[in-house]
Structure 1
Amino acid sequence: MTDPAELRTERLVLSVPTADDVDAITEACQDEAVQRWTTVPSPYGRDAAENFVNAFVPAGWEAGTARTWAVRVRRPDAATELVGMVGLEGIRDGAGEIGYWLAPAGRGLGLMTEAVSAVLDYAFDPDHAALVRVQWRAYRGNRPSARVARLTGFRFEAVRRLGAMGRSGREDEWTAAILADDPRSPADEWPAETLTTTTT
């Protein structure tokens, strides 16, 4: 069993989502972009959020195969607001895959870049996940997600033609990865089609 870990950054607290987050998760997952670019159920009802926090998240931590954090913005009154989710899945043999989404209220502030950097610190720490490789995948066209990956050091690897299953059939997929000893700085040589000026 892997004990859930809380991660903190300058602006964020990353902690395990709980039953108290069900309403916020349900609302965020109605967003058109979350529906388009992620694999959350569609339509997304409260029961999906309940299953996520009560079954999927604890099972992943228990088995050590997935580690999921709610992305929470710190407020001046010491409270936090859930604005997204980030996690490592498919953890096996020193590798895993990162995934993330942001609610509209959290976009344009660099929050997910900050969150992913914290998760990579955890992923590569020998005292925590001790991974040697983290993979990123996205449907072709998801430039905001690609921006986060590029800024946090992921190296672009391929366009997999019809490599992913979307809601309406197969779609092209972008893939990238970062190794434990790679520089944690913005990576070069990403295709022009992946680039965007939007901050995420």
Structure 2
Amino acid sequence: MTEPVVLRTARLELSAPVADDVDAITAACQDPAIQRWTTVPSPYTREDAENFVNSYVTAGWAAGTARTWAVRRRRVDVDVHVDGLELVGMVGLEGIHEGAGEIGYWLAPAARGDGLMPEAVAAVIDYGFSLDGPALARIVWRALAGNVPSASVARRAGLRFEGTRRLGAVDRTRRADEWTAAILETDDRSPADGWPAETLGS
């Protein structure tokens, strides 16, 4: 059994989501972009958040096949004293098997544009490749073609673009093209070159 671990960065704390997070998760997942580009249920209900926390998250950590963290931004008061944590997103490794895993993430609208998710993803990648983590050799990213913000995070985290899988994903009820990228334990972690123009929003 794998016990949940806490990861910390300059601005964030990553820890397993718990029952007290259900309302914040429910609220964030009303965002049309999260429902458009991720695999969360649509429409998204409080029961969906409860099932996510109580079933998917706990089972994944227990089995070691998925490790999910709530992305919590530190609130700071005017005197620069830490004043609690605010759940602003989710990041995880899933499908962990034979030295590989897949990274996925979402960020609430109010937290976007400040570089928080690249910071969180970098911490998870470091953990995934570490001896304290799953000690993976490869971490893969997949997204529906057109999800430029997610591609930007992956590129900034050092993942190398590997191609477009034609009709390689299911977008709710229909087949859709899928972008894929990956990073190896031996790769440099700096932003990767070689991503095609369409993934850059140009």
Give me the TM-score of the superposition, normalised by structure 1: 0.97
Structure 2: distance between partners of 1:16 and 1:8: 12
Deviation at 1:128, TM superposition (A): 1.6
Deviation at 1:53, TM superposition (A): 0.5
Matched residue type, 1:162: L
Please give the per-residue CA displacement for 1:130-153, whole angstroms capped at 9, x wherever unaligned.
000000000000000000000010
Displaced runs of 4+ in structure 1, greater than 2 A? Answer: none
Segments of structure 1 that go 5 or more residues without pairing to the other structure are: none
Matched, 1:98 2:103: yes
Deviation at 1:59, TM superposition (A): 0.2
Structure 1: distance between partners of 2:154 and 2:27: 25
Matched residue type, 1:86: V
Matched, 1:80 2:66: no
SS in 2 for 1:159: strand
Matched, 1:162 2:167: yes
**Structural mapping, 1:126-145, within 5 Å:** 126-145=131-150
- Per the alignment, residue 188 of structure 1 pairs with 193
Structure 1: distance between partners of 2:24 and 2:131: 33
Give me the TM-score of the superposition, normalised by structure 2: 0.96
Segments of structure 2 that go 5 or more residues without pairing to the other structure are: 77-81
Structure 2: distance between partners of 1:68 and 1:127: 16
Contact 1:89 1:96 in 2 (8 A): yes
- Per the alignment, residue 25 of structure 2 pairs with 25
Q: Which moved more, 1:188-197 or 1:23-32?
A: 188-197
Structure 2: distance between partners of 1:49 and 1:127: 29
Q: Percent identity?
A: 71
Aligned positions, number: 197
